[in-house]
Structure 1
């Protein structure tokens, strides 16, 4: 036992002896007071004092009631004294307990090694993905509107029906238009007859001798023929216009797609000026998605495309958990929005299964490039503080050293290591909150978990921990939160559920990512959007919850 502990124990014993002495003195004083009162009651009354009548005898309290009251007073004094002693001694006990715990946390652990979990610096492929929020937008959206005025006499579609271009949709009453067509056809025949007569007169005038008819008459007849020809052409134009209106009264689908709800019922009178229209047709396949990226990300997109589209794009649902479609980048807008500092992009998806719906909210993952065969560092090992960006490297003598590192782009699980550590170096991924430069640590034989590859949905590096040497407590299990059973039969706790200062198992974070990790939030070398690792349970606490770094 250390001198500090002996001194604190002596101080506690002296305090308890002082408290007992004071309590004995208070009890003695109470007993003396009670004996004095009994003696006064036992003395006979003076002869000069008259005897009280019997009728007033009821006003004197009996001895039993007085003894009961004195017992309550004594009990109350004892309770108050015990409460004061507890409050007086409690700060000393808290100070002693905090002193025992603080020895390992604030003094570098003293002679006790801290249990940690480590992972190795390895090589892997890192996909660089840009994420954005997008809206599903059809490539073609058509609102059916009447081009002629009239009453709707027939509806030829069902709401929600998939239609093809040219399919019949609605009919407007065209009887007035048909009558107008017949009228103009009759007028055309009349004007054609006049034109034929004028041409005959012109031929006869040209055959006559110059003495029989003047040149003025010939010119006048020639002008009459030309006038009749213009009238015939005008009649033909009027007929064509009426025929177009008759065709417009027979409404057909202008494009392939799915027709929406009917906006006008049969029997209503419609005009070309109606704003609502009859129905809306939206093209469902292929389907496009509009999304925006910050202008800072535009350079790396243009670098890979050189102005041409073709980057792979993946769509996830609004919760960013389930992939629903894959497609390609089609086009990039030609200007940046000055109000938001973003640029719009359009990606196209086949949508053969109909999973995408117009105006649907989705998450777009645009794969810009893939870093192949680069050194990667688990995100759980990366720390930020006064030295800058650093990690705790495990040395051969079971101590840790602070190493500053230079990082590149990364994803939700790993980050590219540019400089600072050699290949295969072991870094602490769990238990870093109890460490400092030069602190002693313990790791299990299988504590060095290889860092995962960065491609696809690679799993987080597995972090394993062990119990401290004292007490032989079970080691914490790695992986999921399922309790494991140690050889002694006691369940090992996961996720930092170690208890007690006697070497209880330190919990290893099974995911080393601290909750959701911002789910698929990737970094481009400048941002730090990775999720933090869940802290392992220290021997003096029940484990810290994962916190985003």
Structure 2
């Protein structure tokens, strides 16, 4: 069969493409098989059984880099951990005691206020008018009483001269007593009106921290308002309420009865930052049978104001203290074993009995002595008798810090020397902009010169 020349050309190109694809597939399979065999060989040589079924590098392999810390003796606290909630020592809703238009506000939300401090003012005009009215009635009745008393004195003088009937003197005396009662009633009304007028100035009933404002200027406020004007919570001092296992109840109750101070620490959710230090104040009078716990309350000064009402906290209560016990870093312990670094720079496993944990240290019992070095980082690469190289922890920390600092810097700052960074930090925004423009121009010039040289 005869094909046109254009068709024959397309067929040749297709066959050529198929041949090239087949060759590439064969080469890829050959490379993949070689890599797989090399990986299997490397993995087999590295998997040498160690003590307790662990695997690790061969004894004759290269020294493993590790970080170490020192075994020492120190006082260790026996801590009980719990989850707690902060409770305000007192809470007060500031409400208007009289009805009226809210004219002035003298506080900012979130402010710390003192007891008796002026917070708001209500329109006082109607109360001033009522006060003036009852005060006028008092003055009128006081004048009538004064006149009646003078008449009584004159009648009594005439009675002494036997110039007036005694009945008239008695009637005048009764009138004086009646007016005295009227004046006393008027004085009560004046005091009541004065008190109502004073209620137009709203003051803080307790000292504490203000919440969010619940009424705006121009609103008509009433004593029956549910939310009031604002809420005050007393947070200096403040209390933490938490639950403790009933196993500690008798010991804690005895220590509180003896007046012993039981320190309490508050930590944030991640238990990375301490929020406050205080002491245990009281235990509840009954154990919760459903949970087997008893509620406890601890007091905190909260001088820096970091603690808020209803805040979630992690609580650590110190119930005892162990004096001068043997301790190791918590990171050195793995399955009740530690790796001890020997004088010949090899490691050996030592079985230990773990005690209490306090911070990043744990108390232990075992064949260890103060001053011994135990591995804290790189344990997973070790086995009995492995050769190690101790890395200076301070240098590792400096490198980690430098990496973190560099990653936190802007992209334009990462390639600068420390001297240049210090210089840039002192520049104004305009000087900094000019500096980077000049730096980019110099780098571009060097790159161009290098390209021309090639």
Matches within 5 A, 1:28-427: 59=4, 75-86=20-31, 89-103=34-48, 109-112=57-60, 115=64, 117=66, 118-130=68-80, 137-151=87-101, 154-155=103-104, 157-159=106-108, 163-168=113-118, 169-171=120-122, 172=124, 173-175=126-128, 177-178=130-131, 181=134, 244-257=195-208, 262-265=213-216, 268-283=219-234, 286-295=236-245, 298-299=248-249, 301-302=252-253, 304-306=255-257, 308=259, 310-314=261-265, 321=272, 325-336=276-287, 341=293, 343-349=295-301, 351=303, 354=305, 356=307, 366-384=317-335, 389-393=336-340, 402-417=349-364, 419-424=365-370, 426-427=373-374
**Superposed CA offset, 1:119-178 (max 9, x none):** 4432123244555565555434332223334455x5373435665444444344314643
CA-atom RMSD, angstroms?
5.2
Inter-partner Cα distance in structure 1 for 2:397 and 2:360: 17
Distance change in 2, residues 1:122/1:68 (3 Å):
same
Asked whether the 8 Å contact 2:347–2:388 carries over to 1, the reply is no
Matches within 5 A, 1:4-23: none
- TM-score scaled by length of structure 2: 0.59
Inter-partner Cα distance in structure 2 for 1:157 and 1:185: 35
- TM-score scaled by length of structure 1: 0.50
Asked whether the 8 Å contact 2:339–2:379 carries over to 1, the reply is yes
Q: Which runs of 5+ in 1 are unaligned?
A: 1-55, 197-223, 448-463, 466-475, 484-549
Inter-partner Cα distance in structure 2 for 1:63 and 1:87: 37
Inter-partner Cα distance in structure 2 for 1:185 and 1:130: 69
Asked whether the 8 Å contact 2:46–2:58 carries over to 1, the reply is no
Asked whether the 8 Å contact 2:264–2:298 carries over to 1, the reply is no
Inter-partner Cα distance in structure 2 for 1:251 and 1:84: 87
Q: 1:480 aligns with which of 390, 393, 397?
A: 397
Inter-partner Cα distance in structure 1 for 2:208 and 2:76: 40
Inter-partner Cα distance in structure 1 for 2:320 and 2:394: 37
Distance change in 2, residues 1:260/1:96 (3 Å):
closer
Asked whether the 8 Å contact 2:278–2:298 carries over to 1, the reply is no
**Superposed CA offset, 1:233-258 (max 9, x none):** 98887776556545545544433445
Distance change in 2, residues 1:238/1:319 (3 Å):
same
For 1:440, the equivalent position in structure 2 comes to: 385
Aligned length: 365
Distance change in 2, residues 1:268/1:235 (3 Å):
same
Distance change in 2, residues 1:308/1:327 (3 Å):
same
Bigger drift between 239-248 and 265-274 goes to 239-248
Secondary structure of the 1:480 match is helix
Which structure shows the bigger proportion of residues in strand conformation? 2
Asked whether the 8 Å contact 2:328–2:361 carries over to 1, the reply is yes
Inter-partner Cα distance in structure 2 for 1:62 and 1:277: 93
Shift of 1:398: 7.0
For the pair shown, the structure with the greater C-alpha radius of gyration is 1
Asked whether the 8 Å contact 1:164–1:253 carries over to 2, the reply is yes
Distance change in 2, residues 1:116/1:188 (3 Å):
same
Which structure shows the bigger proportion of residues in helix conformation? 2
Asked whether the 8 Å contact 2:348–2:385 carries over to 1, the reply is no
Secondary structure of the 1:482 match is helix
Asked whether the 8 Å contact 2:84–2:243 carries over to 1, the reply is no
Shift of 1:288: 0.9
Secondary structure of the 2:363 match is strand
Asked whether the 8 Å contact 2:86–2:308 carries over to 1, the reply is yes
